[in-house]
Amino acid sequence: MYLCLSKIRPPKIHDLKKLYALCRPYVPNIDRISLVCNDLNQYSIQPRYPEKLDVSEQDVAEALRQAKKVLEFINPLFTKKEKL
């Protein structure tokens, strides 16, 4: 969505590593969530193929913790962008 607000049409993908790379030139300090995006990327593909789903409760808890970090980083960006 941030890319759209920046007038950039993002590809229709779920690959967080690729989306991160696309945002990198436009989002200051995005490097702070690089590792988190990399870690969360595994959950963007695996759940689409449930017969291969291999996620523990601990994995889910960690993924939620990391997703919260991403949201904490991203939410202020939208507020700034909307004011422009």
Identify whether the C-beta of residue 63 lies closer than 8 Å to the C-beta of residue 40: yes
Confidence of residue 77 (pLDDT cuts 50, 70, 90): confident
**For the chain, what is the domain count?**
1
Per-residue pLDDT of 3-36, as tens digits, reads 777 788 888 888 889 999 998 998 889 999 999 9
31: domain range?
Answer: 2-83
d(CA 27, CA 50): 34
Residues 39-62: tens digit of each pLDDT: 998 887 655 666 666 778 899 899
